């Protein structure tokens, strides 16, 4: 049986809420009995999860980091869609509106990926897509930063991103890339239809092959002295603008 590790209050609480039966065992800091921990333990007990008191050294060893907040869970991985086809083909039956995908080209920092997954979940994106050879995979750090979103938003790592963008077009999605030199601003663009928003790595931006696959480019207007935003912040701005337009149109 494959086992993965989740740590931190947010990530483990989401698993308790969505799939408590998948938690094999839950380790908590035996010395921590503040209100937050008491409430967390009560929730775990109510869910029938196996609880184990552990010291900081054991928690750090299990999590692979000292930043575990006194909470580490060993869990069975949840079954997520493993392909772009399975995500897009399931959308009509889900009734969640037009497709909204976030495509990350070259994001290799786990903290950035975790934050992108978190905003993707909040904005109602259906999946996050990244190239297998130019991206970070899901790990415990990503899961903690994502605060549970790594469990709820499909993260699809594809062999060939350019071909996957072509596949999205075949499903009727418009590919909208972000670039500082785009003539059109994000707020001028119509983002209400089936859509894949493409963001490149901070500094480098999208690769040329990815850029050529985009149907159009947009830029986030910058009013201050800085020239660009962190990729997770930019993802949040773009996804929530798409979400805003869709709510108005509904």
- Is 90 exceeded by the pLDDT of residue 233? yes
Residues 180-215 pLDDT 10s? 999 999 999 999 999 999 999 877 789 999 999 999
Domain at 4-75, CATH class: alpha beta
Sheet (strand 174-178) strand order: 155-158, 127-131, 100-105, 195-200, 174-178, 216-219, 184-185
Residue with tokens 């080209």: 105
**pLDDT number for residue 173:** 96
Which of 108-112, 122-126, 147-151, 217-221 comes out lowest in average pLDDT? 147-151
- Is 80 exceeded by the pLDDT of residue 41? yes
**pLDDT number for residue 95:** 67
Of 3.90.1150.10, 3.40.1280.10, 3.10.180.10, 3.40.47.10, the CATH number of 84-249 is 3.40.1280.10
**pLDDT number for residue 198:** 98
Average pLDDT value over all residues in the chain:
91
Which of 5, 10, 96 is closest to 59 using CA atoms? 5
Give ranges for CATH 3.40.1280.10 in the chain. 84-249
Residues 73-106 pLDDT 10s? 999 887 766 788 888 888 776 767 899 999 999 8
**pLDDT number for residue 152:** 83
**String of b and e for 120-155 (b: at least 16 CB within 10 Å)?**
bbebbbbbbbbbeebbbebebbbbbbbbbbbbbbbb
**pLDDT number for residue 203:** 73
More confident residue, 248 or 80: 248
Give ranges for CATH 3.30.1330.30 in the chain. 4-75
* Whether the model pTM is above 0.85: no
Residues 118-173 pLDDT 10s? 999 999 999 999 999 878 888 878 888 887 788 889 999 999 999 999 999 999 99
Average pLDDT on 214-230 reads: 90
């Amino acid at each position: 049986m494959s086992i993965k590790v989740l740590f931190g209050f947010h990530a483990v609480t989401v698993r308790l809420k969505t799939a408590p039966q998948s938690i094999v065992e839950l380790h908590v800091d035996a010395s921590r009995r503040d209100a937050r921990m008491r409430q967390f333990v009560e929730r775990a007990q109510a869910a029938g999860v196996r609880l184990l008191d552990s010291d900081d050294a054991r928690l750090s060893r299990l999590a692979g980091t000292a930043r575990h907040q006194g909470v580490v869970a060993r869990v069975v991985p949840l079954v997520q869609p493993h392909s772009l086809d399975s995500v897009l083909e399931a959308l009509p039956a889900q009734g969640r509106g037009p497709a909204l995908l976030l495509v990350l080209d070259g994001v290799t920092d786990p903290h950035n990926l975790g934050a992108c997954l978190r905003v993707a979940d909040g904005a109602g994106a259906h999946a996050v897509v990244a190239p297998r050879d130019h991206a970070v995979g899901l790990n415990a750090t990503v899961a903690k930063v994502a605060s549970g979103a790594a469990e709820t938003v499909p993260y699809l790592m594809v062999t060939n991103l350019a071909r996957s963008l072509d596949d999205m077009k075949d499903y009727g999605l418009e590919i909208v890339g972000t670039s500082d030199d785009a003539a059109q601003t994000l707020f001028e663009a119509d983002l209400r239809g089936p859509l894949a928003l493409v963001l490149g790595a901070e500094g480098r931006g999208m690769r040329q092959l990815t850029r050529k696959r985009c149907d159009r480019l947009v830029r986030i207007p910058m009013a201050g002295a800085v020239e660009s935003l962190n990729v997770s912040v930019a993802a949040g701005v773009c996804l929530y603008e798409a979400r805003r337009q869709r709510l108005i149109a509904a």
